[in-house]
Amino acid sequence: MNETATAPVATAAAPAAALRPSTRRYAGYALDLDGTVYLDDHLLPGADEAIARLRAEGARVVFVTNKPLDLAHGYADKLTRLGIPTSAEDVVTALDALVLYLRERHPQARVLTVAEPLVDSLLVDAGFTLGCEPEDVDIVVVSFDRTFDYAKLHAAYRAVRAGAAIVATNPDPYCPTADGGLPDCAAMLAAIEACTGARAEAIVGKPSSHMARAFLDRLGVPASETAMVGDRLATDVAMGNTAGMAGILVLSGATTPSDLARSDVRPHAVVSSLRDLL
């Protein structure tokens, strides 16, 4: 069952039967962004107060996003503008997990991207070579791409048919927005997999172990003392559960109480929003 197929919803009162508040404090909190801390450019009610209180109580807080449309400092600047003082070191994105994965598994790879220009710049800065011809690359990196077109699909097709592996940044079918969401990386990946018959070697964002390792290293807190808090069961909560953390669901974004009732993924706690986390 894919609970992420449901359209994102604005913060609303959830049925009391769906809520299971957390009764434990954790040394570290990893907080998703879209649908958890904010929607578009608007802070979700009470998010700033909840994060300020976590920090005041001594908890370590990092922000974790699958959205590969900006670098860590861009998300830090946005959070600071919204009233949550944040440094780039407090943000881990799917692009951080991508660089970590490629450096460990394919350090000399020549890369073709189906992505926005930011990803090209990031990979070049990280020491990777962008291939000029699809038949000469080792990896096709697929990401959330608002510039996706037939030419990119054809180039990826040629590269994979010539032997290149596929690595994707995140498995999200859409990114939550106030007006219904935007097609995300899974849509581009599905098109490439459909025409090539190949499957991605790795999807490095949430819920992967690569993403979990990236932000646990940043937190400096053991998984058993960490809560992963987010609005998606299949990414946020599943990753927390699999990595030995507490997976806490907020009903302020992509997941509804009916999605929760149908899902096999069971959160440690369920709250209406970050405001109710404590």
Residue at token pair 């799917």: 94
pLDDT band at 4 (very low <50, low <70, confident <90, very high): very low
Please state, as a whole number, how many other Cβ atoms lie within 10 Å of the Cβ of residue 185.
28
* pLDDT tens digit sequence for 132-154: 899 999 999 999 999 999 999 99
CA gap 168, 148 in Å, rounded: 14
What is the CATH code of the structural domain delimited by 106-203?
A: 3.40.50.1000
pLDDT beyond 60 at 10? no
Spell 18-53 as b/e; 16+ CB within 10 A means b: bbeebeeebebbbbbbbbbbbbeeebbebbbebbee
* pLDDT tens digit sequence for 49-66: 999 999 999 999 999 999
Domain with CATH 3.40.50.1000 in the chain: 3-94+206-276, 106-203
What is the CATH code of the structural domain delimited by 3-94+206-276?
A: 3.40.50.1000
Q: Rounded to two decimals, what is the model's pTM?
A: 0.84
Residue 88, helix vs strand vs coil: helix
Q: Which two tokens stand for residue 229?
A: 């808090």
